[in-house]
Structure 1
């Protein structure tokens, strides 16, 4: 049995993490009718024996009542979001040894989060990580969730990524960073994102980026079709970002389903990095999900499986706004849940392959997994992770936004006044991003030379 630890950093990371744990518990309750603590439950929870029952989340194991505790570390330099979690329905799932908060926040400043708070809280963070790891028999991976635009998420989040690499070099580091939209209300988000990108490029094993604008667009489409309820099904309250956070949580549920449930052939989480990342720095995978929302179509006719595949390869279901069909695939992972046969999988791969352009040295670069347990409320679901050169457009857009701000030296003094912060941090981050863009560009150019007419690109339109 292998285990994973979820590390939530900043307001965004903790809000998404909250939704993930709520939905994960909901799935266990739905499919684990006997309430037994088993390998599936143990992948993301450990249990504490209780002598008497009190409020909490329970599993009955051999007549002993046990309390489930999430394998998680929660960090934020403000108290609001985590305090709300610790007083809400999940209060018994976490305890104080898993939580570290500040009071003043990082002021939307990467340098404050990464350098000041990173140095101040380093020992405490490492201690929490080690305690969480000690609860695991076989630690397989860390899942890090944070934003890119704010100070705590981008700064302390990437500092924590560095600590994970130093303290647990052999444990896979899978990151879900949330990129800001063009209309982001944090003026300095291009600075924070650029500085954080360098750390993601150098210290992560896999990065599954999510973009706020994509989440907003998906949410608007779903609400227009009245497939997202206005009232949260768990709390009975309306919260503006819950629908967006649910989409990311749903991605994580699909990603981890093979570790949490049985399947005809499950994918080991380490296999994602092994099979999807042919070059160390090109580990940014484009996620796409179908259906994108959970618990909203109960009682409605199930969509045909072929339609689920088609939706997952459409722009409307991507969690980041790029165009992979008109770019080069290095590899593509299909992570299926529910009542799906291998023949269904093969049929759809054969149907989709002619419209997708794979790199010449990996013409059938598909990685697949089948988990027999579907999400609550659906009979099937599909998560697609594409290692595709289209991601460079996101990085080029970031480069442009950063350059506009940096050329005027706007707001730069807020960063340089932090002890240890220098101009060289910005220049090194730009050099790193330019090098990353060039690597993707080199693959695209090489593909065009091998296939001058690019016939499959034309078919893909």
Structure 2
């Protein structure tokens, strides 16, 4: 059994990560009734005792988890969130040796996070990463969770990513990046996001971009669904979309529902690494099969059906509808419309009571309505994990390498350019030691090249290439 280490950076990264650990424990408690440490648990947890005791009763938060430790490194330059985690219900899941924190924060400045704190804490970061890696029997992947708009998440998060490539070049690097919406209250978020994008393009194996606006719309869609009679019982107390208890406090915070959706994405992505299945998909297969060009590793994601997120008691909809919804723009975790854009590759990760024949039938049904590059018409990867989300029959995570991410990047470039033309707030960055104006021009150039590559692919839509480009294809 392979293991993975989660690296949570910044306020957003740690809040999402905390939800992941809480929901992962729920899943394992539902399956592992006897509370015995097994291979499924070993993928993301290490055991410091010969036996664990997970309460699978009603009050799941009173279970004893003191013999389990999360395979995680938690980093934030403001100590508030990490302090709350250490005081919360999951405090026994971590120890102080897994934490790196400061008190002043990065001031919503990529340069402070990357250039100042990155170099200041590099030795500590490497030490804790090595310690986490040495506690794995077979380390397969690092999951980095961070946001793009702030200073620590974008700056220090991408510094950690670059450090992972330097220190562990053979270990896969999956990054979950939360992008700010256009109405973001951090005025410098376009700078931070574009500077971070250059690092993501150069140092990640796969990036799962998620934007706040899409999360808000999905949460609203779920609440609308549960209030209009589709689910008359409503959302359960402490459901996946409403619960914040496992993270810190009883009272729900504004971003709890959104963080839960991102955490659920990670649960789906890692389900085959944690549970048995008739068609399990290894994490390295995602990068191997979905990324034909090294830099085009941004994968859009969608989760269906939404009622499994809301944790409501409703009869399952038609199975085929779940597959159709996965390709609808309303279900994407980023503002995108993959069905009307060009696919380089697609993966369907199904959980629960679904047969291989169901997968094949739906792929054949959907293929005629989707546009794939001419040289990769059969670019489908499928995974089937037998363990569904808690309390539900089945669910689906669709991952797509699709040119529909281009509009998000173009909008980000436009917002960056508006600030940069006026030199607005630029001095806050240039006053940081090691930060030069060339960092901005290089980041903008990197983003422009990325957009151009997607545009070139878009131009081939519907065109059969006699000899497709192969020099940049990842092996």
TM-score (norm: length of structure 2): 0.91
Give, in angstroms, the shift of residue 291 of structure 1: 2.5
Q: In the TM superposition, what are the counterparts of 1:59-138 in structure 2 within 5 Å? A: 67-138=67-138
Give, in angstroms, the shift of residue 313 of structure 1: 1.2
Cα distance in 1 for residues equivalent to 2:180 and 2:297: 20
Cα distance in 1 for residues equivalent to 2:243 and 2:439: 45
**1:74-133 deviations in Å (ceiling 9; x for gaps):** 000001111111111110000001011110000000000000000000000000000000
Q: Quick check: 1:295–1:376 contact (8 Å CA) kept in 2?
A: no
Provide structure 1 residue ranges, at least 5 long, that are not aligned to the other structure: 60-65, 452-461
- The residue number in structure 2 matching 1:378 is 392
Give, in angstroms, the shift of residue 298 of structure 1: 4.0
Q: Quick check: 1:46–1:69 contact (8 Å CA) kept in 2?
A: yes
Which runs of 4 or more aligned residues in structure 1 lie more than 6 Å from their structure 2 counterparts after TM superposition? 50-56
Cα distance in 1 for residues equivalent to 2:19 and 2:400: 24
**1:395-419 deviations in Å (ceiling 9; x for gaps):** 1111111000100000000000000
Distance 1:225 1:431, change over 3 A: same
- The residue number in structure 2 matching 1:240 is 254
- The residue number in structure 2 matching 1:143 is 143
- The residue number in structure 2 matching 1:456 is none
Q: Is 1:355 the counterpart of 2:397 in the alignment?
A: no
Distance 1:168 1:310, change over 3 A: same
Q: In the TM superposition, what are the counterparts of 1:141-220 in structure 2 within 5 Å? A: 141-220=141-220
- The residue number in structure 2 matching 1:29 is 29
- The residue number in structure 1 matching 2:468 is none
Give, in angstroms, the shift of residue 229 of structure 1: 5.6
Q: Quick check: 1:250–1:292 contact (8 Å CA) kept in 2?
A: no
Give the alignment partner of residue 264 of structure 1, picking from 278, 303, 309. 278
Give, in angstroms, the shift of residue 378 of structure 1: 1.4
Distance 1:204 1:228, change over 3 A: farther
Distance 1:51 1:380, change over 3 A: closer
Q: Is 1:289 the counterpart of 2:303 in the alignment?
A: yes
Cα distance in 2 for residues equivalent to 1:84 and 1:117: 22
Give, in angstroms, the shift of residue 53 of structure 1: 9.2
Distance 1:168 1:57, change over 3 A: farther
Give the alignment partner of residue 423 of structure 1, picking from 437, 443, 452. 437
Give the alignment partner of residue 250 of structure 1, picking from 240, 253, 264. 264
Cα RMSD between the aligned structures?
1.9
Q: In the TM superposition, what are the counterparts of 1:394-405 in structure 2 within 5 Å? A: 394-405=408-419
Cα distance in 2 for residues equivalent to 1:52 and 1:3: 19
- The residue number in structure 1 matching 2:45 is 45
Q: Quick check: 2:51–2:67 contact (8 Å CA) kept in 1?
A: no
- The residue number in structure 2 matching 1:330 is 344
Cα distance in 1 for residues equivalent to 2:409 and 2:89: 38
- The residue number in structure 1 matching 2:470 is none
Give, in angstroms, the shift of residue 428 of structure 1: 0.5
- The residue number in structure 1 matching 2:472 is none
Give, in angstroms, the shift of residue 238 of structure 1: 2.1
Equivalenced residue count is 445
Q: Quick check: 2:147–2:179 contact (8 Å CA) kept in 1?
A: yes
Q: Quick check: 2:36–2:53 contact (8 Å CA) kept in 1?
A: no
